[in-house]
């Protein structure tokens, strides 16, 4: 478990952390290239994560494509099988639906179906999550879909430090990684170390230590969980906040160790509640640590409806800080 550095390095935005990771990996390895829509200057990507990259590395290594998600993934897969290390961007996570056959039946399975003879060093970046009134076709959190696909690694960072370290690791892996960036985190700032660093997959980070209730959250919901923990602390309740950082592989040991200490668990995920990632974490703990639980596991997720466009309705549907506080108290005061 690593701690977020508070001194040294630089304070940069989540967006710049993502950009810096790609920029540095392009310089480190000539086999790395970027492919997606509007990545070159002057656009620099839909969320400005590739600004000035093509100016330094040229159009051969920053490739613009049409709006054709299956073709983007197909081209990136072919390049990966040929020995390159593509970083493909789908802009919105919702658009993975246009490329699901390529992702599920090809990208995730080639190494297995070739008996390990083929490597797929491919990173697929996509922006997910609500909060911008992007509505039902541009604001979904579909990480649970991807977790269901054997053969894919899933990274879902919450801080600039984690984003840069995990993305550099993802680019260096020989297996396909879905790297999900929450669009509401891009302007958040945090410290990153100077120089090269990576973060291992499958190692959670305890963002806040506590003794009364464990809160496991991912991506933007980590920040909500930390806000909730502050409010709970004001009432004398000590909440431990765990950020898995990668959903696949999942650091089960850190979660189980925390539950053994607090005896209560709240799982927070922005995906819809039904058949979601939060349910998977709850099932794992229920099976492996049932005797440690003093209360039913609480889930805080998006309601099972299409995401509304209207801001007040969207906020009502999405998980909130008060929802997490209520869930923690429900677990704590169960009898």
Q: Which of 25, 37, 69, 314 is catalytic?
A: 69
Tell me whether the CATH fold assigned to 10-192 matches the one assigned to 205-332.
yes
Q: Give residue 133's pLDDT.
A: 87
Let me know if 148 is a catalytic residue. no
Q: Give residue 319's pLDDT.
A: 97
Q: Which two tokens mark 37?
A: 């829509």
Let me know if 25 is a catalytic residue. no
Domain boundaries, the chain: 10-192, 205-332
Burial class of residue 127, CB neighbours in 10 A (0-12, 13-18, 19+): buried
Q: Which two tokens mark 110?
A: 């080639």
Report the C-alpha gap between 1 and 331 in whole angstroms. 26
If the chain, 335 residues long, is cut into consecutive pieces of 10 residues, what is the mean pLDDT of each piece? 57 97 98 97 94 96 96 97 97 94 96 95 96 90 96 98 98 98 97 95 98 98 98 98 98 98 98 96 98 97 95 95 98 88
Q: Give residue 7's pLDDT.
A: 53
CB atoms within 10 A of CB 114: 12
Report the C-alpha gap between 188 and 197 in whole angstroms. 20
Sequential DSSP letters for 177-191: EEEEEETTSTT-EEE
Q: Give residue 334's pLDDT.
A: 85
Cβ 242 vs Cβ 274: under 8 Å = no
Q: Which two tokens mark 69?
A: 């998600």
The CATH superfamily of 10-192 is Thiamin diphosphate (ThDP)-binding fold, Pyr/PP domains (3.40.50.970)
Report the C-alpha gap between 185 and 325 in whole angstroms. 22
Report the C-alpha gap between 228 and 222 in whole angstroms. 10
Q: Which of 25, 138, 182, 298 is catalytic?
A: 138
Q: Which two tokens mark 86?
A: 């593509």
Cβ 18 vs Cβ 47: under 8 Å = no
- Give the architecture-level CATH label for domain 205-332: 3-Layer(aba) Sandwich (3.40)
């Amino acid at each position: 478990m690593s701690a977020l550095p508070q001194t040294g390095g630089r304070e940069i935005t989540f967006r710049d952390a993502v950009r810096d990771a790609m920029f540095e990996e392009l310089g480190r390895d000539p086999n790395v290239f970027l492919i997606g829509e509007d990545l070159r200057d002057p656009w620099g990507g839909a969320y400005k994560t590739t600004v000035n990259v093509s100016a330094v590395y040229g159009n051969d290594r920053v490739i613009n494509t049409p709006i054709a998600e299956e073709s983007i993934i197909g081209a990136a897969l072919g390049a990966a099988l040929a020995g390159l290390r593509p970083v493909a961007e789908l802009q919105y996570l919702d658009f993975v639906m246009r490329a699901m056959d390529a992702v599920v039946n090809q990208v995730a399975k080639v190494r297995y179906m070739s008996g390990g003879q083929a490597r797929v060093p491919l990173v697929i970046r996509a922006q997910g999550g609500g909060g911008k009134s992007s509505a039902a076709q541009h604001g979904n959190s579909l990480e649970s879909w991807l977790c269901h696909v054997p053969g894919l690694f899933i990274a879902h960072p919450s801080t600039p430090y984690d984003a840069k370290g995990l993305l550099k690791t993802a680019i260096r892996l020989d297996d396909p990684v879905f790297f999900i960036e929450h669009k509401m985190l891009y302007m958040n700032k945090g410290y990153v170390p100077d120089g090269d660093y990576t973060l291992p997959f499958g190692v959670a980070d305890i963002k806040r230590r506590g003794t009364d209730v464990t809160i496991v959250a991912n991506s933007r919901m980590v920040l909500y969980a930390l806000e909730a923990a502050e409010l709970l602390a004001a009432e004398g309740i000590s909440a431990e906040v765990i950020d898995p950082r990668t959903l696949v592989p999942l650091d089960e040991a850190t979660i189980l160790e925390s539950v053994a200490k607090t005896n209560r668990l709240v799982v927070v995920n922005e995906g819809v509640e039904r058949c979601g990632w939060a349910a998977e974490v709850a099932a794992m703990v229920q099976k492996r640590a049932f005797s440690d639980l003093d209360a039913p596991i609480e889930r805080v997720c998006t309601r099972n409806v299409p995401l509304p466009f209207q801001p007040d309705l969207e906020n009502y549907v999405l998980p909130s800080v008060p929802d997490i506080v209520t869930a923690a108290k429900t677990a704590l005061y169960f009898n």
